[in-house]
Amino acid sequence: MTDSNRRNLLLASAGAGAGLVAPRAFAQTGPYPNRQVKIVVGAQTGGLSDAYARLFAEQFTNRFNVPCVVENKGGAGGILAIEAVVKAPPDGYTLLSTTTGQVWQTRVMYKKLPFDLARDIAPITVFPSGPLIVAVQEKMGVKNLDELIEYARKNECSSGSYAPASYPHVLAETLNKQFGCKFQAIQYKGEGPMWIEMGSGQLQMCVGSYQAFSTVASKGVRPIATTGPIRSPKLPDLPLLTEQGLKAPIARLEGGLALTTSSGVPVEILELLSKVAVEGNDTPRARALRENFAIPNATGGRAEALRLWRDDAPVWIKEVSALGVTLD
C-alpha cells in the first residue's frame, strides 16, 4: 500500500468513526444543535399552535440540553411570522409553529406575498388539532347546523377566525357561498382573543379547540357541531358537520398545527426535529395537552406531514380558490 493510499484509508476511517458518535455538521460550526433554537409562533399566546410550540421547545431542550425559546409573532395573518422564518439562515435554528391554513391556503388568499409558500417552507411535523367545536350564542336560539344556516340567511352574523385561511374562516365563507348566509369573518391574532370576544357576546359563531371553547362554555355559548371525521372525545353526543348534512369538503377535512422551517434546511435536520416530536408523543406533558384539547391522536412525524402536504393541502387550496376570497 502506498503512502497516499494509506493516508486516504485513514481519513476515510476517521470520517466513518466520527459519523458514529456525532450528527453531521451540516456545514455548520460543530454538530447540530449547538446553540439556541427559536420557534416563531404565528399567533398570540393561549392557542393550540402556541401550546404545541412550547411543548416541542421543552422536548427539544430535554433531548439536547440546548435552549429552545418561543417567540409569539401574531398579526398580518401569520405573514410576519412566516417571513421571519423564511428570511432566517436555513440552518435549523429558526422554526415556525402555525396552522396548516397559514402555510397552505394563505398562498391563494393573498395576491402578493414576500415569499413563495410552495417553495420556501419545509414541513417537520403536523400536530393534530382534533375535532373542532362549532359554537354559537345561546340567545340566538340555534341548536343545530340547519337552524344556524336559517338564522344566518336572515341576519348579519359575525364569525370569529383565529387566522386568515383558518378552518373557521373557510367554513364561514363556505356557508356564505353555498347557502347564502351572511357571515362576516372577524380575524383575531390567535384563538385566545377570539374566544374571549365570544364569551363576552361580541361574536355569533366561533370554531376552535375544545379547550379554548370550554373556557367560555358557561357564558351563554352553545356547541352545535364538531368538525372533521370523528366526534370529540369530550362531547361524544355532539354530531359532526357531515352527520348534519354538510357535504362541502371543508366538513370532513381536518387541519392541524404545522411545525415547519425554511426549505433550505438540510433534510437530516428536518428528520431529527421530527424524531423529537414523535418521541415526545407519550410524555406526560404531551398526553396532558391532548387530553385538555380533546385530541385523540398524536403526531405522525415528517412522513405523515409530507403525506398531508401531498394529499390534503391541494384540497384545501382548491376549496379556498373556489370561494374566491382574497385579503389584499
pLDDT at 8: 40
Over its length of 328 residues, how does the chain's per-residue pLDDT go in tens digits?
Answer: 444 444 343 333 333 333 333 344 344 557 999 999 999 998 888 778 899 999 999 999 999 999 999 999 977 778 999 999 999 999 999 999 998 988 998 888 888 889 999 999 999 999 999 999 999 999 999 999 999 999 999 999 999 998 877 899 999 999 999 999 999 999 988 888 899 999 999 999 999 999 999 999 999 999 999 999 999 999 999 999 999 999 998 898 888 999 999 999 999 999 999 999 999 999 999 999 999 999 999 999 999 999 999 999 998 898 888 888 777 6
Contact 257, 49 (CB under 8 A): yes
Helix (H, G, I), strand (E, B) or coil at 240: strand
Position of cell 393534530?
A: 128
pLDDT at 122: 97
d(CA 223, CA 230): 16
Rounded to two decimals, the pTM is 0.82
Contact 258, 129 (CB under 8 A): no
Domains in the chain (CATH in brackets) are 28-129+255-323 (3.40.190.150), 133-252 (3.40.190.10)
pLDDT at 9: 37
Q: How far is CA 179 from the centre of its chain?
A: 28
Cell numbers of 327, please?
385579503
Position of cell 354559537?
A: 136
d(CA 246, CA 232): 17
Helix (H, G, I), strand (E, B) or coil at 229: coil
Position of cell 486516504?
A: 8
- The beta strand positions in the chain, using DSSP E, are 37-41, 68-72, 94-99, 121-128, 133-137, 157-161, 183-187, 205-208, 221-226, 256-262
Q: Omega before 249 cis (within 30°)? A: no
pLDDT at 210: 93
pLDDT at 185: 94
Which of 35, 45, 89 shows the shortest CA–CA distance to 70?
Answer: 45
Q: How many CB atoms lie within 10 A of CB 200?
A: 11
Cell numbers of 242, please?
357531515
Strand partners, 123: 260
Which of 22, 23, 19, 28 shows the shortest CA–CA distance to 91?
Answer: 28
Q: φ and ψ at 34, to 5 degrees?
A: -130, 15
